[in-house]
């Protein structure tokens, strides 16, 4: 369970994906999936492909804070890069189980269960956040979950 030299190279590519493929003004995250040293998928955060992006709308549409307080659910039109990648794999029948996911930010609590269920075995992220539950879930699911340092 440690960072490998190749992880830095792949993270650089994930950073480029964030730069080029993210259409979200708020998130700005990139994710790639590597299997047997090949990049098989890449996704940035943003709206579903056919939906107007928040870059076009000049805002990131979300349910108001009151909705979150009332329901405990944080909702926005955009989807995280990790779940977008998993959705694309589902659409095209791409087997991502057993792969390594590189993501420019630590996955959120909503993405963590999808990553686990998708069978991804290794997750390398760059920017950290203060939430610890994602790390706990990954540990429980036996997923190698490491910040690139």
> Given the rule CB under 5 A, which residues bind Zn ion?
24, 26, 54, 60, 78, 80, 108, 111
The distance of closest approach from Cβ of residue 82 to Zn ion in the complex, given in angstroms and rounded to an integer, is 5
Nearer to Zn ion, 24 or 41 (CB): 24
Which has the closest alpha carbon to 134: 126, 68, 143, 94?
Answer: 143
Nearer to Zn ion, 4 or 133 (CB): 133
Tell me how far CA of residue 45 lies from CA of 5, 32, 106, 149, in angstroms. Answer: 26, 12, 13, 23
The distance of closest approach from Cβ of residue 128 to Zn ion in the complex, given in angstroms and rounded to an integer, is 14
Query: How far is it, in rounded angstroms, from Cα 41 to Cα 73?
Result: 29
The distance of closest approach from Cβ of residue 97 to Zn ion in the complex, given in angstroms and rounded to an integer, is 19
Nearer to Zn ion, 6 or 20 (CB): 20
Query: How far is it, in rounded angstroms, from Cα 72 to Cα 12?
Result: 35
Query: How far is it, in rounded angstroms, from Cα 130 to Cα 107?
Result: 11
Nearer to Zn ion, 100 or 134 (CB): 134
121 in Cβ contact with 143 (< 8 Å): yes
The distance of closest approach from Cβ of residue 36 to Zn ion in the complex, given in angstroms and rounded to an integer, is 26
Residue in the shown chain whose Cβ atom is closest to Zn ion: 80
């Amino acid at each position: 369970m440690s960072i490998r030299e190749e992880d830095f190279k792949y993270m650089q590519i994930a950073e480029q994906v964030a730069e080029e493929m993210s259409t979200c003004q708020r998130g700005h995250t990139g994710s790639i999936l590597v299997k047997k040293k090949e990049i098989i998928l890449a996704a940035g955060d943003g709206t579903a492909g056919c939906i107007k992006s928040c870059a076009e709308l000049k805002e990131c549409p979300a349910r108001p804070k009151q909705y979150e307080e009332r329901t405990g659910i944080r909702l926005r039109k955009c989807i995280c890069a990790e779940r977008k990648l998993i959705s694309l794999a589902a659409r095209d029948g791409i087997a991502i189980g057993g792969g390594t996911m590189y993501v420019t930010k630590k996955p959120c609590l909503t993405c963590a269960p999808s990553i686990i269920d998708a069978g991804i075995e290794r997750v390398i992220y760059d920017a950290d956040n203060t939430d610890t539950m994602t790390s706990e879930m990954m540990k429980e699911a036996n997923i190698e979950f490491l910040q690139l340092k």
